[in-house]
C-alpha cells in the first residue's frame, strides 16, 4: 500500500460508486474504513444534493426551497464495518422546505446496507443574529501552543486515516482529564471537490468516541453512531475537539464533545459505543 500525501482525497468516483483510497482505512484493519471518511462522504453527498435542488428552476430565489440551507444536525448509524470496497450512496429527500430540509442517506456495498444517516438542514441568515448565551465557547488555547502528536499505531503495516492527520494535544486522551485535541483535517472527499466547512467538521466528529473511551491497557470501545450538531460554519484549517462528558455501564458508553475552531465552539458531536472485546 502506498503512502498518502497531505491533501490527497478519501475516495475516487467512477460515475456510479465511490472507491476508497488508502487514506480512508481504519487503524484496526486494512479491510475496513475509519468512521470519519464515511461521515465526510455522507456530508459531501448531502451538500451536493442541496446544490442540485437550489439550481432547479423553482430554486433560484432567496425564498425558494433549498436556498441558504446548511447542515445543522447529522446522525449516522454504523450498522457494520464499512469495507474497503466500492460504495454506493443513495440519498432520499424526506422534506424540502423554505427553512428546513431532511435527507435520508444509505451507504451500501453490493446489496448490503452498511450505514444509514439522517441529515437535518436549516436555513441560516446573518440578519437573524444570535440570542442567548454561549457555553463552552472558548477555544483551548491555540494549536501552536499545543503538543504535536501523531496517532499512527506502532506496528501498523498500512496507511490509516488518523495517521495521516496532524494532531496537537492540549490534554492527551487516555489520562484522568477530559481530552482536548487540535486537529488539522486536509482530505477532500474526492479530488478537486470543495472542502466545505460541514465536510471539515464531519472529518473530525467521529473522534469523540476514541478520545473519550481511550484507556491504557484496554481495547476501548467501538462506536455505533456519530451525531454532529453545527450552529455555525467552521473557519480555518485547525479545529479542536474537547470531550465534555462521558458515561459507561454494562459495556455501553456514550460521550459528548464540543467542536470548535480558533474563534471558539461551532458545534458538538456525540457517540454511543460498545465495549470492543
Give me the percent of the chain exceeding a pLDDT of 90.
64
Position 270 scores a pLDDT of 98
Which whole number is the average pLDDT over 151-180?
A: 81
Which whole number is the average pLDDT over 21-25?
A: 95
Position 68 scores a pLDDT of 82
Whether 81 has a pLDDT exceeding 50, the answer reads yes
Which whole number is the average pLDDT over 200-210?
A: 96
Which whole number is the average pLDDT over 188-217?
A: 91
Q: Which of 257, 99, 252, 239 is nearest to 178 (CA)?
A: 257
For 209, phi and psi rounded to 5 degrees? Answer: -70, -55
Cα–Cα distance for residue pair 159/128, rounded to 1 Å: 45
Which whole number is the average pLDDT over 230-238?
A: 95
Cα–Cα distance for residue pair 8/97, rounded to 1 Å: 36
DSSP the chain: -----TT--SEEE-SS-EEE-GGGB-SS-TTBB-HHHHHHHHHHHHHHHHHHHHTSGGG-STTSTTTTEEEEEEEEEE-SPPBSS-BEEEEEEEEE-SSEEEEEEEEEETTEEEEEEEEEEEE--GGG---S--SS-S--S-GGGSEEE--PPTT--S--TGGGSEEEEEE-TTSSSPPEEEEE----SSTT----HHHHHHHHHTTHHHHHH--TTS--EEESEEEEEESS---SSEEEEEEEEEEEETTEEEEEEEEEETTEEEEEEEEEEEE--
Whether 259 has a pLDDT exceeding 50, the answer reads yes
pLDDT, tens digit, 9 for 90 and up, residues 117-152: 999 999 987 777 777 767 767 898 899 999 887 554
Whether 52 has a pLDDT exceeding 70, the answer reads yes
Position 126 scores a pLDDT of 72
Whether 253 has a pLDDT exceeding 60, the answer reads yes
Which whole number is the average pLDDT over 203-227?
A: 86
Any idea where the domains of the chain sit in the sequence? 11-125+136-275
Which whole number is the average pLDDT over 182-195?
A: 92
Position 218 scores a pLDDT of 59
Q: Which of 136-140, 170-174, 194-198, 207-211 has the lowest mean pLDDT?
A: 136-140
Its pTM stands at 0.91
- Tell me the pLDDT band of 154, cut-offs 50, 70 and 90: very low
Give me the percent of the chain exceeding a pLDDT of 70.
89
Whether 1 has a pLDDT exceeding 50, the answer reads no
Tell which CATH classification among 2.40.160.210, 1.10.540.10, 3.40.1180.10, 1.20.1260.10 matches the domain 11-125+136-275.
Answer: 2.40.160.210
Which whole number is the average pLDDT over 150-175?
A: 78
Residues 6 or more apart in contact with residue 18 via CB below 8 angstroms:
11, 12, 41, 86, 87, 88, 89, 190
Which whole number is the average pLDDT over 38-61?
A: 84
Q: Which of 158-162, 204-208, 250-254, 273-277 has the highest mean pLDDT?
A: 204-208
- Tell me the pLDDT band of 70, cut-offs 50, 70 and 90: very high
Return the C-alpha cell found at 117. Answer: 444517516
8 A C-beta contact, residue 156 and residue 29: no
Cα–Cα distance for residue pair 108/35, rounded to 1 Å: 15
Amino acid at each position: 500500500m502506498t503512502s498518502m500525501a497531505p491533501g490527497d482525497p478519501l475516495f475516487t468516483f467512477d460515475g456510479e460508486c465511490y472507491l476508497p483510497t488508502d487514506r480512508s482505512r481504519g487503524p484496526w484493519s486494512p479491510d475496513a474504513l475509519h468512521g470519519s471518511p464515511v461521515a465526510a462522504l455522507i456530508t459531501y453527498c448531502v451538500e451536493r444534493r442541496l446544490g442540485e435542488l437550489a439550481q432547479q428552476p423553482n430554486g433560484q430565489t432567496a425564498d425558494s426551497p433549498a436556498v441558504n440551507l446548511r447542515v445543522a444536525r447529522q446522525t449516522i448509524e454504523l450498522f457494520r464495518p464499512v469495507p474497503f470496497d466500492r460504495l454506493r450512496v443513495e440519498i432520499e429527500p424526506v422534506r424540502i422546505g423554505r427553512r428546513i430540509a431532511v435527507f435520508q442517506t444509505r451507504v451500501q456495498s453490493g446489496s448490503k446496507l452498511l450505514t444509514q444517516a439522517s441529515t437535518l438542514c436549516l436555513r441560516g441568515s446573518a440578519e437573524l443574529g444570535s440570542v442567548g448565551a454561549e457555553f463552552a465557547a472558548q477555544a483551548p488555547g491555540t494549536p501552536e501552543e499545543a503538543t504535536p502528536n501523531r496517532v499512527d499505531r506502532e506496528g501498523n503495516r498500512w496507511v490509516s486515516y488518523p495517521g495521516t492527520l496532524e494532531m496537537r494535544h492540549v490534554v492527551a486522551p487516555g489520562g484522568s482529564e477530559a481530552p482536548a485535541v487540535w486537529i488539522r483535517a486536509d482530505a477532500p472527499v474526492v479530488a478537486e471537490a470543495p472542502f466545505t466547512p460541514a465536510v471539515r467538521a464531519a472529518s473530525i466528529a467521529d473522534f469523540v468516541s476514541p478520545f473519550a473511551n481511550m484507556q491504557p491497557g484496554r481495547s476501548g470501545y467501538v462506536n455505533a453512531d456519530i451525531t454532529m450538531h453545527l450552529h455555525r460554519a467552521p473557519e480555518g484549517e485547525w479545529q479542536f475537539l474537547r470531550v465534555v462528558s462521558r458515561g459507561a455501564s454494562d459495556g455501553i458508553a456514550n460521550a459528548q464533545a464540543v467542536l470548535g475552531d480558533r474563534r471558539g465552539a461551532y458545534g458538538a458531536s456525540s457517540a454511543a459505543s460498545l465495549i470492543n472485546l
